[in-house]
A = this chain, B = another copy of it.
Amino acid sequence: MICVLSGGTGGAKFVDGLRQVMPAEDITLVVNTGDDLLWWGLYVSPDIDSITYVLSGMLSRERGWGVKGDTFLCLQAMGQLGEPTWFHTGDRDLAMHLLRSRLLAEGKTLSDATSVISEKLGVKARVLPMSDSRVETRVDTPAGELSFEEYFVQRWYQDPVNSVRFAGASDAEPAPGVIDAIVSADAVLIAPSNPITSIGPILAVPGIREALQRAHGKIAAISPIVGNAPVAGPAGILMAAQGLPCSIAGVAQAYEDFLDVLICDTRDARPAEALRKNGLRVQCTQTIMRSAEDKAALAREVLSCVAPAPRAGREPIHHGVAARHLDPQP
């Protein structure tokens, strides 16, 4: 069993690789819900959506979010009705939000709703929201405090950022299964997601950071920072706002109380060496995921870093951890 802590975009790409090289049944995802928003009266959970879409083969790989081949006629019609249209929900994508909203309105938890939707879409991995309580990532800017989606999508992350907070986190509980998934996993992987606003909200839920500290398996994080810049998005600005350098050292620092292995790009060989001198295990590899092969290769590399050493004369006991080689050409 592998447990993956993930946000939406980078996380979805990494999970796309992971599902190529190991059975999806052996993956539990703990997903950020700090970006969740009420949109047109519907409950939208952008990171759960991206993870669910990638696991069901529905994700638009071109966009990195939403459903492939989707259209946006409802969005257009909402614009004609004078409703906001900055958050792009496709027509097929709306089905997800409608069903989830109905399930929540019927009194189901976000965990229940996520599980119902996963089953309906044939998702074999277990997808868990970090919490069934509402935790909202709030970005303080000179223009005022914004929700994450307002900051990120509506305003194109152009505002300077003073600080980030996770409203509701102190009263939140981890969703059912989250703590056990982390503690008992053969390995825990931190996806190459934004450490502040994708992984940060997960770590802000009381009990999750402690679970990571006492986890049974090794914990590896894939750096979303390559050569002092985020692969995508505002991670650099947000890390700076939280007092972390925008570098693999900053990523290591964000996770320092539980991290066993940092996976960084080969371009970061020099800062990797510095981190190793401080006692952290660092593995350099190709972390930019352009093709399906890139994704699978990174997933294999990461799994090999966290696989327990095989005992003499025996097969590895945790075969969920050992990368399966599912090359298209044997």
Binding site for B on A (CB under 8 A): 40-42, 67, 70-71, 73-74, 76-78, 80-83, 90-96, 98-99, 101-102, 105, 117, 120-121
- Do the beta carbons of A102 and B70 come within 8 Å of each other? no
- Do the beta carbons of B91 and A71 come within 8 Å of each other? yes
Chain B's nearest CB lies how many Å from the CB of A40? 5
- Do the beta carbons of A77 and B101 come within 8 Å of each other? no
- Do the beta carbons of A40 and B71 come within 8 Å of each other? no
Contacts of A94 in B (CB 8 A): 74, 77, 91, 94
Q: How far apart sit A70 and B91, CA to CA, in the bound complex (Å)?
A: 11
- Do the beta carbons of B70 and A95 come within 8 Å of each other? no
New A-B pairs, 17, CB < 8 Å, besides A73-B73, A74-B98: A41-B101, A73-B90, A73-B92, A74-B94, A76-B92, A77-B93, A78-B95, A78-B99, A80-B95, A80-B121, A81-B99, A81-B117, A81-B120, A81-B121, A83-B98, A83-B99, A91-B91
Contacts of A78 in B (CB 8 A): 95, 98-99
Contacts of A117 in B (CB 8 A): 81
Q: How far apart sit A135 and B99, CA to CA, in the bound complex (Å)?
A: 26
Taking a contact as CB atoms closer than 8 A, the residue among B83, B93, B95 that contacts A83 in the complex is: B95
Contacts of A77 in B (CB 8 A): 67, 91-96
Q: How far apart sit A94 and B97, CA to CA, in the bound complex (Å)?
A: 13
Q: How far apart sit A5 and B249, CA to CA, in the bound complex (Å)?
A: 72
Which of A74, A93, A120, A121 has the most CB atoms of chain B within a 10 A radius of its CB?
A74
Nearest B-chain residue to A69, judged by Cβ: B73
Contacts of A99 in B (CB 8 A): 40, 78, 81, 83
Chain B's nearest CB lies how many Å from the CB of A118? 11
Which of A71, A81, A120 has the most CB atoms of chain B within a 10 A radius of its CB?
A81
Contacts of A98 in B (CB 8 A): 40-42, 74, 78, 83
Q: How far apart sit A309 and B77, CA to CA, in the bound complex (Å)?
A: 45
Nearest B-chain residue to A102, judged by Cβ: B41
Nearest B-chain residue to A78, judged by Cβ: B95
Nearest B-chain residue to A72, judged by Cβ: B91
Q: How far apart sit A90 and B99, CA to CA, in the bound complex (Å)?
A: 16
Q: How far apart sit A99 and B82, CA to CA, in the bound complex (Å)?
A: 10
Q: How far apart sit A126 and B233, CA to CA, in the bound complex (Å)?
A: 48
Contacts of A93 in B (CB 8 A): 77
Top 10 nearest A-B pairs (CB, nearest first) are A77-B95, A41-B102, A73-B91, A77-B92, A91-B91, A78-B95, A74-B91, A74-B94, A40-B98, A81-B120
Q: How far apart sit A53 and B271, CA to CA, in the bound complex (Å)?
A: 63
Nearest B-chain residue to A117, judged by Cβ: B81
- Do the beta carbons of B73 and A70 come within 8 Å of each other? yes
Chain B's nearest CB lies how many Å from the CB of A49? 12
Nearest B-chain residue to A82, judged by Cβ: B120
Chain B's nearest CB lies how many Å from the CB of A53? 11
Q: How far apart sit A41 and B107, CA to CA, in the bound complex (Å)?
A: 13
Q: How far apart sit A40 and B80, CA to CA, in the bound complex (Å)?
A: 22
Q: Given A81-B117, A81-B120, A82-B120 in contact, is the A74-B92 Cβ separation under 8 Å?
A: yes
Q: How far apart sit A91 and B42, CA to CA, in the bound complex (Å)?
A: 15
